[in-house]
Amino acid sequence: MPILRCIQDELGWVPRDCVPMLAEILNLSRAEVYGVVTFYHDFRHAPPGRNVIKVCRAESCQAAGGVALAEHIKRRLGIDFGETTHDHAFTLEAVYCLGNCACSPAAVIDDDLVGRVTPARFDEKIAHLNRPDR
Amino acid sequence: MSEPVIFVPRDSGALSLGAESVALAIATEAQRRGKQVRIVRNGSRGVYWLEPMVEVATGGSRIAYGPVAAEDVSGLFDANWLDGGAHRLALGPTEELPYLKKQERLTFARVGITDPVSVDDYLSHGGYRGLQRALSLTSPAVVEEVVLSGLRGRGGAGFPAGIKWRTTQQTDASQKYIVCNADEGDSGTFSDRMIMEGDPFVLIEGMTVAAIAVGATQGYIYVRSEYPHAIRILSEAIRGAEQRGYLGSDVCGSGKAFKLDVRVGAGAYICGEETAMLESLEGKRGMVRFKPPLPAIAGLFGKPTVINNVITLSSVPTILEKGGAFYKNFGMGRSLGTLPIQLAGNVKYPGLIEKAFGVTLREIIYEYGGGTASGRPVRAVQIGGPLGAYFPEAMLDLPLDYEAIAAKGGLLGHGGIVVFDDTVDMLRQARYAMEFCALESCGKCTPCRIGSTRGVEVIDRIQASRGRSKSDSAALLRDLCDTMTAGSLCALGGLTPLPVMSALRHFPQDFGLPANAIS
């Protein structure tokens, strides 16, 4: 898993081509490696957009306006969870608890955790995003 | 006179509200004004509605200000805050905040007070006394101290920690392991994160004591990937402990070895289940294992392994330092000691409240939490994360005690409380519980893997149908929940019925069903 993590940190996703290579190096079957890659939600199977937005959908955030926030973000970006915009600017991912429940609702914008997110605060945050292509 | 010290938290919660830019603004402004200050990045005190909460220490006491935004910093200097000048954000001495003053902090005694990565700070606040005492005792005596304290696993299952330790201690093996479960995935819980970010040494010390007690030489902390700050701070603290001889081949000159490493998860809720976690640590899919064999006898790589939650292990230093009998004096019934309660959701004053077991939900939600943030009436409360039951307002006099909550069909879990106001739709919450189970199921047991998806469908059918067909669907949902409870290996499939059935039992009107439709 630390190897897969390194690959994803470097590339932003885990390309399918890595599987046979890793299997050979680690003396595992390709099925075993593929099984691990597909089991964990963190590992992406396609390149993400330049900016990755993760929104918490768990109970504490639901209780504090998280559902309306998620709807706003989907509308604002024009995509659903698990999708990337056509211009590859944004990928929207769902997460289930960021441990920031006392500051609900929470989201992660690129690598920054943001608490007490309102639709207005979200719009303000993404207005400044300008991450260069990977 | 020494320079004033300014504390700005580096806790994730505070950072998510702009603590980093506040710290930067303070440094810049102090320099511009030619003021000598020392900025310490502490953990959070757990009063989250006041974050980022900045504290200024001049002389003996610490004065709190919050919530501070970067734009407020210049005004704070204008008000002469370094010498206790009046300001609208001033909250008085931190220790006197009623929210903190009424608590009984044992495990969280240092969180928010010390610099989390300073060994010296830890030592000067009573750190490593538990380990020193443990090193002066025999291994079985250390285990018996923990048994005596009545400490139960704080991760959710509530199994007596000392019994687990005793099993591992009495099992002969060439290698034993200590694994700390820091895969805190339950919504509404964040106490593990606060410890790892605010006082990582207490966890490191607790794990070292466990290692000495059972004869383990290697430890792993399995941290979820959603906690990057905790991972960074823990790693820094482990390096510090190694440099000072508190970890390594010769712990405190005792001749005993203990090495500790951090392992990072990859976003799988099920890996908080102890056997799935072991699979994940071994580099495999996080599939739940059959028990027996118990991990205490055949755990990580088939070797005897103690697996405890962050809070369980972090409670150990106090128990060793002050004795099991001291710890046992807190609490009620068979729930002994203190519980770090995490209050979140729709609540005015969310945060961390460490109290002895036995405090009621009502006290926590109203006296500490101040009711809902929206100002509307409380309608439902979920205790113990996504697998915990929903209780109506009328049941809030329940004490926080493992047995009392179980008797009412709920579970205390990791001590997270999520409050909902009267706009909540309980059918939707029940549906979400099934959806979450479907998403996070490891797939090993059919009732969990398939039952959860069928559960979502049945709940949709209850919503869409009327009359006879509706009550038939409700009966079907109950049958399905019974099957999941009885036919799943672990808590995910086994306990998802709790939120679903409690929603149906206590809030039948949200399902369009008459009262007492489900007994």
Using a CB-CB distance cutoff of 8 angstroms, which residues of chain A are in contact with residue B350?
A: 101-104
Q: B434-438 long-range contacts, Cβ below 8 Å, gap at least 24? A: B434/B459, B434/B496, B434/B500, B436/A58, B436/A96, B436/B269, B436/B386, B436/B496, B437/B492, B437/B493, B437/B496
Residue B392: the pLDDT is 98
The rounded mean pLDDT for chain B is: 96
Region for residue B371 given its phi and psi (left: phi exceeds 0; alpha: psi -120 to 50; beta: otherwise): left
Q: What is the CATH number of domain A51-127?
A: 3.40.30.10
CB B489 within 8 A of CB B290: yes
B293 interfaces chain A, CB cutoff of 8 Å = no
Nearest to B16 among A35, A39, A113 (CB): A113
* Phi and psi at residue B313, to the nearest 5°: -65, -35
Closest residue, chain A, to B281 (C-alpha): A1
What sign for the dihedral angle of Cα A42, A43, A46, A49?
positive
What is the CATH topology of the domain spanning B5-101?
Glutaredoxin (3.40.30)
Closest residue, chain B, to A62 (C-alpha): B345
Q: What is the pTM of this model?
A: 0.96
Share of residues in chain A with pLDDT > 90 (%) = 94
In this predicted model, what pLDDT tens digit does every residue of B148-181 receive, in sequence order? 999 999 998 899 999 999 999 999 999 999 999 9
3-state SS, one letter per residue, for B69-82: CHHHHHHHHHCCHH
Helix (H) / strand (E) element for B261: namely strand B259-264
CB B352 to CB A102 under 8 A?
yes
Helix (H) / strand (E) element for A61: namely helix A59-63
Q: Going by C-beta distance under 8 Å and a sequence separation of 6 or more, which residues neighbour residue B285?
A: A35, A36, A39, B279, B442
Report residue B172 as tokens: 């002969």
In this predicted model, what pLDDT tens digit does every residue of B321-366 receive, in sequence order? 999 999 999 999 999 999 999 999 999 999 999 999 999 999 999 9
Residue B394: the pLDDT is 97
Determine the distance in angstroms separating the CA of A126 from the nearest CA of chain B, rounded to an integer.
Answer: 15
Report residue B155 as tokens: 């991760």
Cβ-Cβ contacts under 8 Å between A and B: the total is: 139
Burial of B67 (0-12, 13-18, 19+ CB in 10 A): buried
* Phi and psi at residue B337, to the nearest 5°: 95, -155
The rounded mean pLDDT for chain A is: 94
A35 interfaces chain B, CB cutoff of 8 Å = yes
CB B342 to CB A101 under 8 A?
yes
**CB-hemisphere CA count at 13 Å for B32?**
10
A103 interfaces chain B, CB cutoff of 8 Å = yes
Parallel/antiparallel/unpaired status of strands B54-58 and B5-7: antiparallel
Cβ of B175: how many Cβ atoms within 10 Å? 14
Q: What is the CATH number of domain B332-421?
A: 3.10.20.600
Determine the distance in angstroms separating the CA of A56 from the nearest CA of chain B, rounded to an integer.
Answer: 10
Residue with tokens 């405190």: B252
Q: How far apart are the first and last CA of chain B?
A: 69
CB B206 within 8 A of CB B315: yes
Report residue B392 as tokens: 């109506």
Amino acid, res. B181: N
**B332-421: same fold as B5-101?**
no
3 state SS of A103: helix
Residue B4: the pLDDT is 93
Residue with tokens 């702009």: B18
CB B362 within 8 A of CB B372: no
Q: What is the band of A134 on the pLDDT scale with cuts at 50, 70, 90?
A: very low
User: Domain map of chain A by residue range?
Assistant: 2-39, 51-127
Residue with tokens 């149908």: B465
Cβ of A133: how many Cβ atoms within 10 Å? 5
For A:60-79, CB contacts with B below 8 A are 60-64
3 state SS of A79: coil
CATH superfamily, domain B119-329, is: NADH-ubiquinone oxidoreductase 51kDa subunit (3.40.50.11540)
Using alpha carbons, list the distances in angstroms from residue B382 to B63, B147, B375, B408: 35, 30, 18, 13
A100 interfaces chain B, CB cutoff of 8 Å = yes
CB A4 to CB B440 under 8 A?
no
User: Domain map of chain B by residue range?
Assistant: 5-101, 119-329, 332-421, 426-511
Q: Give me the tens of pLDDT residue by residue for chain B, a chain 519 residues long.
A: 578 999 999 999 999 999 999 999 999 999 999 999 999 999 999 999 999 999 999 877 899 999 999 999 999 999 999 998 899 999 999 999 999 999 999 999 999 999 999 999 999 999 999 999 999 999 999 999 999 999 999 998 899 999 999 999 999 999 999 999 999 999 999 999 999 999 999 999 999 999 999 999 999 999 999 999 999 999 999 999 999 999 999 999 999 999 999 999 999 999 999 999 999 999 999 999 999 999 999 999 999 999 999 999 999 999 999 999 999 999 999 999 999 999 999 999 999 999 999 999 999 999 999 999 999 999 999 999 999 999 999 999 999 999 999 999 999 999 999 999 999 999 999 999 999 999 999 999 999 999 999 999 999 999 999 999 999 999 999 999 999 999 999 999 999 999 999 999 999 999 999 987 765
**CB-hemisphere CA count at 13 Å for B357?**
25
Helix (H) / strand (E) element for B231: namely helix B228-243
For B:374-403, CB contacts with A below 8 A are 382, 386
What is the CATH topology of the domain spanning B426-511?
de novo design (two linked rop proteins) (1.20.1440)
Report residue B491 as tokens: 């808590």
Residue A131: the pLDDT is 57
